Structure 1
Amino acid sequence: MAPPGSRRWAYVRVMAGTILGGVLGFYVMHRVETSYKARMEERLRRYEAHMLAKAKEETEQRLQDEAPQHKDQAQLLPDS
């Protein structure tokens, strides 16, 4: 059987290791989470910019497609 002081030291080491391990695990997970959020925010910004550019391009294309129709209709109207 181990002396009482040795057993107490073992309990202290186990408790200290558990506490320090929990703190380290919390810190690592916090860093992972914040870096993930930053990457997702950047990805969302790029996606929104892409969608705005796509919408603008589609609007311009629609206006270009409609422009000749208006000209054709103007040419079909009789002169007064």
Structure 2
Amino acid sequence: MAGTILGGGLGFYVMHRIETSYKARRPPPYPMEERLRRYEAHLLAKEKEAQQLQDEGRREDQAQVLPDS
């Protein structure tokens, strides 16, 4: 019984040390405002790309309907 308690305590201590060591090496997360700004920029870029593809599709459709003479 004492071995179980000591083993549990030792396991907890080792896992605690590993966790604190990992957190110390990891860079801090972006602030929420920075993450939101990056996400909005990403969405705007995707929207612009989709609009360009849609415009190109319209141009191709018009070229097929009205061929050059």
- Normalised TM-score (structure 2): 0.51
| Aligned match of 2:25 | none
| Aligned match of 1:15 | 43
Moved over 3 A (4+): none
Instruction: Answer with 1 or 2: which has the greater Rg.
Output: 1
Deviation at 1:31, TM superposition (A): 0.5
Whole-angstrom distance in 2 between the partners of 1:36 and 1:6? 45
Deviation at 1:19, TM superposition (A): 1.1
| Aligned match of 2:31 | 3
Structure 2, unmatched stretches of 5+, are 1-28
Structure 1, unmatched stretches of 5+, are 43-80
For each residue in 1:22-77, what CA deviation from the matched residue of structure 2 results, as whole angstroms up to 9, or x when unmatched? Answer: 1111111101110122129x6xxxxxxxxxxxxxxxxxxxxxxxxxxxxxxxxxxx
Whole-angstrom distance in 1 between the partners of 2:42 and 2:60? 27
- Which has the larger helix fraction? 1
Q: Name the Cα RMSD after superposition.
A: 1.7
Percent of aligned pairs sharing the same letter:
10
Amino acid at match of 1:25: L
